[in-house]
Structures are given as structure tokens and as C-alpha cells.
Amino acid sequence: MATFVPKYAEDEDGSGSHVHISLSRNGENVFMASGDSKYGMSKIGESFMAGVLNHLPAILAFTATHPLSYEHLVPKTKNAAYLCWGKENTEAPLRTASPPGIADDFINHFEIKAFDACTNPYIGLASIIISGVDGLRKDLSLPKPVEGDSDVSGENLRSVPDSISESLIALEEDTLFSEVMSENLLTVIKAIRKMEVKNYCEPERDYNFYDQNIYKDPLKDIIFKF
């Protein structure tokens, strides 16, 4: 089915809009290691990616913006259900990749799966970049990767937020975004997310909500004051 809806049927995996991130300086990829390295990526690449992983629960408030977004982020669907990363691991929310032409064990970019087509791409990408830059500034390191390409539920991993309400709690607890983004922008984003929850009656799921004409414009009742 051609649709922007992240989850259009209960028995389908859904539709995502995964983001691939690489870093360059003077036209050269600086995400990939230039010699021996722990994970096949440079320290710059690792710190940037570690920042994204560290802030991922709050990032979801910007990149998983519809209640059905969280029906898409479930285990065994090649999507982002647990806070982890892995090499070529399609069950991890952050997946490092080595496309054809790249030497074995070297990584030139990573993929973020917690992103779908209901997301405002500018704000969503901004939240990822802000998080990565924070990782660079703090020189963060990645935890051990989750190996393999299967269900990772047995790894005792923390789950990603499973609803807009949980991602908003994560956003409130993560002070990075309030330090970098304007207060007015965050106020509007939070208001829109709360209207999504109210109009959609979270946590109940209804995959036919468009047909039932119960979905309302989340902006309709919001007054913008700047």
C-alpha cells in the first residue's frame, strides 16, 4: 500500500522513512576509520553516533510524531524497539552499514530507523544533529554492539518509548533540547503531540481511524503566542 502512515494494518510491518547519516570534512568521509579501530568507525563517528543513541528516547518526540508511529516500532519487524546499536543489525534502532566497495569491517555511515514519513524532516533531522553534536562535545563512547540480525529482546535492553506520552516524558527529562531549541518551538511541538494523544485516544489503537472520520487537525485549537 502506498501511504505515509507508519502503521496501516495490524498484520503489516508498516512504512518507515529511515535516515542515513555520514560525516564529512573537506569532502572526505570522517565517519569511517582510517586505520585500526574498535568498531570500524572513527572516534568522531563513534561520538556522534553515541550522542544520537544517548538522546534517542527524546528524539522520538520529534521523529515518531503519530500514535501509530509506535505501533511501527515493535520487535521482530526490522524496526527500532530497543535502545541499542549493531553492525548490519536490522532490529537495532541505530544500524551501522558498509555498502559495496567499502573494505570489510569499515563503516562509512549509520542508519536511524526511528523516523517515519509523518515527521517534519527539518525538525526531525535537527534533533538528530543536535544530539550527535552533543556526543562530539562530550566525547561520548558507544556501548557494546548487539550482534546478529535477529530479535534482540533477550539482551536485557531498555525499550524505546512506546507512545507519544512516553517520548514527551523523555523530552522533558532531557535538558539538551531546551538548551538548544527555542522555548516557543518546544511549546508548540509538545502541544501538537498532546493534541495527537487526545484526538487519537492513546493508548487505544485503531488502524481505520481515517475511514471513521475521528481524526482531527491537531493545530485547529492551538493558539500561537510569540
Q: What residue type is assigned to position 73 of the chain?
A: L
Rounded to the nearest integer, the mean pLDDT of the chain is 80
Residue 207 has pLDDT above 60, yes or no: no
Q: Which three cell numbers stand for residue 224?
A: 500561537
Position 68 scores a pLDDT of 82
Q: Which three cell numbers stand for residue 134?
A: 552533543
**At what angle are helices 56-63 and 183-200 packed, to 10 degrees?**
70
Residue 217 has pLDDT above 90, yes or no: no
Q: Is residue 46 part of a domain?
A: yes
Residue 215 has pLDDT above 80, yes or no: no
Q: Is residue 96 part of a domain?
A: yes
Distance CA 34, CA 42 (A): 7
Q: Is residue 128 part of a domain?
A: yes
- CATH number of the domain that residue 74 is part of: 3.30.590.10
Contact by Cβ (8 Å): 131, 59: yes
User: How many domains does one find in the chain?
Assistant: 1
* Count of residues making up the chain: 226
Beta-bridged to residue 182, according to DSSP, are none
Position 154 scores a pLDDT of 52
Q: Is residue 116 part of a domain?
A: yes
- Most confident listed range (87-91, 118-122, 124-128): 124-128
Q: Is residue 4 part of a domain?
A: no
In a 3-state reduction of DSSP, which class is residue 40?
coil
Q: Is residue 68 part of a domain?
A: yes
Residue 10 has pLDDT above 80, yes or no: no
Distance CA 38, CA 35 (A): 10
Rounded to an integer, the average pLDDT of 172-188 is 93
Q: What is this structure's pTM? A: 0.81
Rounded to an integer, the average pLDDT of 161-165 is 89
Distance CA 84, CA 158 (A): 8
Q: Using a pLDDT cut of 70, give the percent of the chain over it.
A: 79
CA distances from 183 to 59, 187, 189, 214, 226 (A): 16, 6, 10, 31, 10
Count CA atoms within 13 Å of residue 175 on its CB side. 0
Contact by Cβ (8 Å): 62, 124: yes
Closest by CA to 153, choosing from 95, 79, 46, 87, is 79
Q: What residue type is assigned to position 115 of the chain?
A: F
Rounded to an integer, the average pLDDT of 65-83 is 77
Residue 140 has pLDDT above 50, yes or no: yes
Q: How confident is the model at residue 72 (pLDDT cuts 50, 70, 90)?
A: confident
Task: Write the DSSP symbol of residue 173.
Answer: H
Q: Is residue 48 part of a domain?
A: yes
Domain span at 100: 19-144+158-200
Distance CA 148, CA 155 (A): 12
Q: Is residue 58 part of a domain?
A: yes
